[in-house]
Amino acid sequence: MLTSSFLCETPEQTFQLGEEIGKKAQSGEVWCLTGGLGAGKTLFVKGMAKGLGFEGNVTSPTFNLQNVYEGRLPLYHFDWYRLNKAEEVENIGWSEWLSREGVVVVEWGDKFKNLFPPNMIKMAFEPYTETGRRLIVEGHNESIPRVQEIILCWPL
């Protein structure tokens, strides 16, 4: 496991970190985003989508089950906030989404941690002031080199 943290002192910085990550995202990346309401997860996904070259609207898929943003690679955006059981995720074809070409990102992913593949990348969002967020990244197994690259790209 490789971990590091980033300080995002404004919403713009959180967006920008997402954008940098989106620019270099590779097919097969699976992101588990954790942190409370309003911690900045959706804003980060907006940045990722922008970095992947998607120019449309990004909203959290709270009532539908996932959103797909077509950029250089498709970004599959999930939000498990309202889900109660792992079966609900399995029933929406989770394993098929994981096997597609593209990048998967899940808000409230820690609700069903066991559903993630061993190469997942975790990002925990921790508010420390009204506009400050500490983002803690965690790479596992095959994602460790990618996380190393992310750490090097971000000066903060």
Interface positions with ligand ATP (CB under 6 A): 8, 10-11, 14, 35, 37-43, 60, 81, 107, 125, 131-133
- Amino acid identity for residue 50 in this structure: K
Examine residue 42 and tell whether it contacts Mg ion (CB under 5 A). yes
**How far is Cα 143 from Cα 156, in angstroms, rounded to an integer?**
21
Q: Rounded to the nearest whole angstrom, what is the least distance from the CB of residue 135 to ligand ATP in the complex?
A: 8
Q: Which does 11 bind (CB under 5 to 8 A by kind): ligand ATP, Mg ion, none?
A: ligand ATP
For Mg ion, the closer CB: 5 or 60: 60
Question: What is the closest distance, in whole angstroms, from the C-beta atom of residue 40 to ligand ATP in the complex?
Answer: 3
SS3 of 68-115: the string is: EEECCCEEEEEECCCCCCHHHHHHCCHHHHHHCCCEEEEECHHHHHHH
Residue 14: which of ligand ATP, Mg ion, none does it interact with, CB under 5 to 8 A by kind? ligand ATP
Question: Residue 129's closest CA among 9, 34, 42?
Answer: 9
Q: What is the CA radius of gyration of the chain?
A: 14
Angle between helices 11-23 and 41-51 (to 10 degrees): 40
Q: Which does 131 bind (CB under 5 to 8 A by kind): Mg ion, ligand ATP, none?
A: ligand ATP
Least distance (Å) between residue 66 CB and Mg ion? 13
| Contacts with Mg ion, residue ranges (CB under 5 A) | 41-42, 60, 107
